[in-house]
Amino acid sequence: MTAVEVWTPVCTVADLIPNRGAAALLEGNEQVAIFRSSTDEVYALSNIDPFSGAAVLSRGIVGDLKGVPVVASPMHKQHFDLRTGACVDDPDVTVAVYPVRVEDGTILVGRP
Amino acid sequence: MPRTLVVAGNGPVGHRLVEALRDRDTAGEWRVEVFAEESRPAYDRVALTSYVDTWDPLALQLDGATYEGDDLVTLHLGDPVTAIDRTARKVSTASGSTVEYDALVLATGSYPFVPPVPGHDLPGCHVYRTIEDLDAIRADAERSTRGRRAALVVGGGLLGLEAAKALRDMGLSPHVVELAPRLMPLQVDDGGGGLLRNLIEKLDVTVHPGTGTQSIEEDRGRLLAKLGNGTELDVDLVVFSAGVRPRDQLAREAGLAVGERGGIAVGPDCVTSDENIYAIGECACVNGMVYGLVAPGNAMAEVVADRLLGGQSTFERGDLSTKLKLLGVDVASFGDAHAKTEGALEVVFNDAVAGTYKKLVVSDDAKTLLGGVLVGDAAQYPLLRPLVGRDLPGDPAAMIAPAGGAPAVGVGALPDEAQVCSCNNVTKGAINGAITEGCVDVPGLKECTRAGTTCGSCVPMLKQLLEAAGVQQSNALCEHFPQKRAELFEIIRSTGVHTFSELISRYGTGHGCDICKPAVASMLASLGNGHILDGEQATLQDTNDHFLANMQRNGTYSVVPRIPGGEITPAKLMVIAQVAQDFGLYTKITGGQRIDLFGATVDQLPEIWKRLVDAGFESGHAYGKALRTVKSCVGDTWCRYGVQDSVRLAIELELRYRGLRAPHKIKAAVSGCARECAEARGKDFGVIATEHGWNLYVGGNGGFTPRHAELFVSDVDTETLFRYIDRFLMFYVRTADRLQRTAAWIEAMEGGMEHLREVIVDDKLGICEDLDAAMAKHVESYADEWAGVLDDPAKLARFRSFVNAPGTPDPTITFREERGQSVPLGMPAVVTR
């Protein structure tokens, strides 16, 4: 019995501006925030800002803090590690990270 | 039931007492009745001469002087106490009322001493103490039109030189007569007085030392003053500034003890011969000494405030140290300036070429500093004064020697109990305590300790103490840029770098963050770098700028079209109403005289703006660190009190500066008369109409720390007004720190408002042409940001809810109805605080 992997194609890499995010809708009304770095790495986190409950992380500013790639929530500016979902400002908080694959320029998002 | 404190007198010291008491009396033990002789709330008498710059009495008013919003203080203006009934413990006042007191504080100040010279009471003879005195002097000065206008100042002390400056600023040639052989005899010695005279005579002030005024006569519509040395002077007016006398009449009539040479006798507890009555300030005679300076008066006020609440503090010995700038000449005197201490030694450097005179008075072993005099350059005053009575850190001669290897006196040399701020009696220990508790900058220290809030001469010391405590006064914008904002601005401006990636690779490190990216985006926008969503700039913008709308708590946005000056036609009002109705937007009038439409999703923003732009609206920049609104009252078109067309000016200003990106938001207002219905003094720049033109105020804001804007220039014409505001805004845009409003910017500026005036009005830095050109470029290149989005399919494509399902609404956004409109339904936060 093998586990069923679900991958949802959401957009092409070219649909994303480097260093800016976009929101995508998965099945069951789940929302992910997808980011493309300037070196074309692609990250996917839950789009829900855990501090406000609003679906806004995809609209945050992307950058780095002491070398850690982060997105800053546009609501109250907490920073989340794009690789792990860990909140840099509050070690007790983490957002879900989604696996990402790029095939032929198409971004596919899996289950966390 | 609170007890009643009656305060007789509302000068700076009386006001300080009320402030100090109300600060500490958190339980509301005392209700305060203040009886003032003058018709205006307490003002800064020390700065009286600056009234000549603005002729605006409000500019001198002390902070909090109206006691507005404090139910426990009642201020009775123009109603002085006229009698005290000590047995019944009540006072009667000029208006005929009587008030019972539990405690009475006499803060009646002093009156100017006018020597009994024949003719001293002729028209044209004045004293120099109140705003009314200056108004009367001005009226006389303006009346005289014939010949070279001149004035005689009787008395060459501190006040006399202040008066000479005021007269000179009014366009008269002042003559100063001083009985003593030198100017400022109380503060400086012969050497310092000599240099002071030289420096001051260069400024068109004639000094007549060592002689008195024998008579004043009327002479063909002017005044003829005859001096003891035979000199005769034709003058237009005479100002007596020959010292002050304590106003102790009220106390004498009530049978209170007075000092031998006047003044209400009190002990170190400031209590008079009646235990329920205190006396403070210039009317008090503490252990035989009357103090004619504000600092000892403030110290007495603090003592009484403390004692009223059960404290035991005492007033020991007043510090007579003085530092001031007289006619642009620095003069400081501290401690035993005249070397009266037994065996005192004097160390003097008199540099006639440089125009400086410095003297230190030290103990016979040259180890302890006793006092000193500085003329021409008083930069060392803040460090030397607290050292009085203490061991010197080095050889006294080396400490004041002209430049060349002298060891600088550092704050480290001061013991903890040394007084750093003499105006407010704040010690080095207290300041270090505040730093330990988390104060990180000078404004913070001012707020916590009051140090540096009166004369400001100790501000450099506060900076040094912060540095000495290891508080990094880091100016770095963030971890990616070591420069401060103003430096980055200059780099971008001079190098022409116009992308963030080039800037960070050449001048910074890493990839940037949510601090430096929007800051650089703002600077690029200020420098006219095209649309804010062009190319890489789009990735730098905060979400508000990125979607050209204001994000709200549920992730939706609000929309604010520009309504210049708050003027709108009914037809345009209907467009807004229709749009709000069609998109189900919650609608509210803003504080800036426009309309905010809430609850728009990112998909809806372009559709909403299409409708608004088609109807002639443009972006209101409510989302940006940029000019927001120029609010206005209705002005003289309608208002029967208005003196100018405030609406027209507000619209012109708003259209001129719309779209200007700045370190923080900029708000403005224009009032059509002095009633100030537009609340212009609460704005970054505010304009108030006068009969003759416009008064410009700068540096106001509401928010967490509300501040009133201060008068910058008065009675200017519209063209001059625009020029000064252009420069003010451009200078602010270029030099302020990130997220620093104009008030904090001016406060942090070396030289403050005076410096700002020198830059903008006198072009001291020689940059005005450049600032003017930059503003002209801004005005010329302005384009509506929303129209720019609607015209560009690539920009429009970013306004989608989901990259894989455009048009699908965000399922987390839901509304409920409240008072007939949609409001957000609370959303569950994962983390609770």
- Asked if the structure places residue A3 within a domain, the reply is no
Mention every residue, 6+ apart, whose C-beta is less than 8 A from residue B311: none
pLDDT in tens, B163-210: 998 898 888 889 999 998 888 888 788 888 888 888 888 888 899 999
Q: Which of B802, B810, B815 to mutate to test the interface with A (most CBs of A within 10 A)?
A: B802
B804 DSSP 8-state letter: T
Residues on chain B touching A18 (C-beta within 8 angstroms): 539
The whole-model pTM stands at: 0.58
A110–B contact, CB cutoff 8 A: no
Residue B782 pLDDT:
95
Which of B514, B801, B828 lies at the smallest CB-CB distance from A63?
B514
All CATH 3.50.50.60 domain ranges in chain B, comma separated: 3-111+246-308, 125-242
Q: B706 falls in which pLDDT band (50, 70, 90)?
A: confident
What is the C-alpha separation between B800 and A10, in angstroms, rounded? 14
Does pLDDT of B32 surpass 90? yes
Hey, is B268 helix, strand or coil?
A: coil
pLDDT in tens, B640-690: 999 999 999 999 999 999 999 999 999 999 999 999 999 999 999 999 999
- Asked if the structure places residue A2 within a domain, the reply is no
Q: Tell me the two tokens of residue B282.
A: 């210039």
Tell me if B241 sits within 8 A of B128, measured CB to CB. Answer: yes
B contact set with A (CB within 8 A): 479-480, 501, 510-514, 516-518, 538-543, 546-547, 551, 553-555, 798, 801-805, 808, 810-813, 827-831, 833
Cα nearest neighbour of B533 on chain A: A17
pLDDT in tens, B304-332: 999 999 999 999 877 777 777 777 788 88
Residues on chain B touching A69 (C-beta within 8 angstroms): 511
Q: Tell me the two tokens of residue B444.
A: 């913070």
A88–B contact, CB cutoff 8 A: no
CB hemisphere CA count around B480 (13 angstroms): 24
In this predicted complex, what is the ipTM? 0.95
Q: Which of B505, B517, B831 to mutate to test the interface with A (most CBs of A within 10 A)?
A: B831
Instruction: Choose which CATH entry (3.30.390.30, 3.40.640.10, 3.40.50.1100, 3.40.50.720) describes domain B321-409.
Output: 3.30.390.30
The average confidence (pLDDT) of chain B is 90
CB hemisphere CA count around B250 (13 angstroms): 30
> What percent of chain B lies above the pLDDT cut of 90?
61
User: Are B513 and A16 inside 8 Å of each other by CB?
Assistant: no
A57–B contact, CB cutoff 8 A: no
Residues on chain A touching B827 (C-beta within 8 angstroms): 52-54
Residues on chain B touching A78 (C-beta within 8 angstroms): none
Count CB neighbours of B460 within 10 A.
17
pLDDT in tens, B350-401: 777 778 888 888 888 888 888 888 888 887 887 788 888 888 877 777 777 7
Give the CA angle between residues B468, B471, B473 to the nearest 5°. Answer: 105
Lowest mean pLDDT of B15-19, B22-26, B53-57, name the range. Answer: B53-57
Helix axes B442-449, B428-436, angle to 10 degrees: 110
The CATH class that applies to domain B3-111+246-308 reads alpha beta
Hey, is B517 helix, strand or coil?
A: helix
Hey, is B668 helix, strand or coil?
A: strand
Backbone angles phi, psi at A58, to 5 degrees: -65, -15
Count CB neighbours of B769 within 10 A.
9
Which of B480, B514, B553 lies at the smallest CB-CB distance from A61?
B514
Does pLDDT of B404 surpass 60? no
CA B381 to chain centre: 23
Tell me if B3 sits within 8 A of B101, measured CB to CB. Answer: no
- The total number of structural domains in chain A stands at 1
- Asked if the structure places residue A81 within a domain, the reply is yes
Residue B576 pLDDT:
98
Mention every residue, 6+ apart, whose C-beta is less than 8 A from residue A1: none
Tell me if B313 sits within 8 A of B303, measured CB to CB. Answer: yes
Residue identified by tokens 């997220």 is B739
Which of A24, A69, A93 lies at the smallest CB-CB distance from B804?
A24
C-alpha distances (whole Å) from B295 to each of B31, B45, B51, B301, B580 are 26, 12, 21, 10, 60
- Asked if the structure places residue A58 within a domain, the reply is yes
The domain over range B125-242 is classified in CATH as 1.10.760.10: no
- Asked if the structure places residue A23 within a domain, the reply is yes
In CATH, what number is assigned to the domain containing residue A78? 2.102.10.10
A89–B contact, CB cutoff 8 A: no
Residue B407 pLDDT:
41
Give the closest residue to B619 by CA, choosing from B579, B567, B564: B564
Residue B406 pLDDT:
40
Residue B833 pLDDT:
46
Q: B148 falls in which pLDDT band (50, 70, 90)?
A: low
Q: B472 falls in which pLDDT band (50, 70, 90)?
A: low
Q: Which domain holds residue A56?
A: 16-98
A69–B contact, CB cutoff 8 A: yes
Residues on chain B touching A54 (C-beta within 8 angstroms): 553-555, 812, 827
pLDDT in tens, B250-270: 999 999 999 988 999 999 999
> What percent of chain B lies above the pLDDT cut of 70?
96
Cα nearest neighbour of A107 on chain B: B804
CA A51 to chain centre: 16
Q: Please list the ranges in chain A whose pLDDT falls under 50.
A: 1
CB hemisphere CA count around A44 (13 angstroms): 24
Q: Which of A37, A51, A61 to mutate to test the interface with B (most CBs of B within 10 A)?
A: A61
User: Are A10 and B804 inside 8 Å of each other by CB?
Assistant: yes
CATH no., domain B632-783: 3.30.413.10
User: Are A64 and B804 inside 8 Å of each other by CB?
Assistant: no
- Asked if the structure places residue A83 within a domain, the reply is yes
